[in-house]
Structure 1
């Protein structure tokens, strides 16, 4: 019971910190709306999403971590190539809004997020199109099939994933 209690406390602390990180991401986006391709805002956004993804992954919040990782993988080359401007910014805002909803809907006791991932796939696909990038691989189809995920992630898995 102590382990469950400490996991619940860690999850609640993460959810509070995640709101701060999400606010920082929104501030970075607002900065990008004022100054196209600002390197500091891009760097801040990338670091904030990286921190959020790593912390969510560490707590086993797979839906949040994989979505955040996919979003970060889309944004990194756009920032490097200075293509994060114009029509892509409202799409990025929609992605961050979905992330905010996901964080609000995470069960603070179990860490589960009971949402389908269709909206994740749609928003990431729209953003990818606006950034002239291929749509990122997500775990949505693996989750829907309730199978082990074989998609590459930013961190090496702790054990090899079986192929299906």
Structure 2
């Protein structure tokens, strides 16, 4: 789907730089979790960066990236309250981050589209859901699509 937000082509380079920074931060937190299992600060950092990334992508109508970030956020948020994040779960999460990085590289700078088959997103979400003890079908249905609520709306 073409990007129809105003001035997206002027804001896209900034988004890409910010998104790469957020993904790098998430990957640092993931590396930290591989050393210190279930570190609350590292998980909170990842949750925060996933929400920021989803918000940035949503602002430029990059739905696929925004929704993917929100799906992962939902699964990670649920998992941190119900289980330890073991090595297989962290590997599945790493695969999700890798796909996000590829998606950022594939955004068309002329049209603002991200032409992709969402089956890879779906399979990675399902794999992560399985590793954190959620039914893949329930995980996709429960988090489809999570809406972004702006801070001003939360205060109302």
**TM-score when normalising by structure 1:** 0.80
- Give the match for residue 155 of structure 1: 148
Higher RCO structure (Cα 8 Å, ≥6 apart)? 2
Query: Which is richer in helix?
Result: 2
**TM-score when normalising by structure 2:** 0.84
- Give the match for residue 106 of structure 1: 107
What are structure 1's unaligned runs of at least 5 residues?
Answer: 139-150, 157-164
- Give the match for residue 126 of structure 1: 127
What are structure 2's unaligned runs of at least 5 residues?
Answer: 150-156
Could you say what the CA RMSD is over the residues aligned between the two structures, in angstroms? 1.9
- Give the match for residue 77 of structure 1: 78
Question: For this pair of structures, how many residues does the alignment match?
Answer: 142
- Give the match for residue 140 of structure 2: 137
Deviates more, 1:82-91 or 1:37-46: 82-91
Q: Is the 8 A contact 1:32 1:85 kept in 2?
A: no
Q: Is the 8 A contact 1:37 1:79 kept in 2?
A: yes
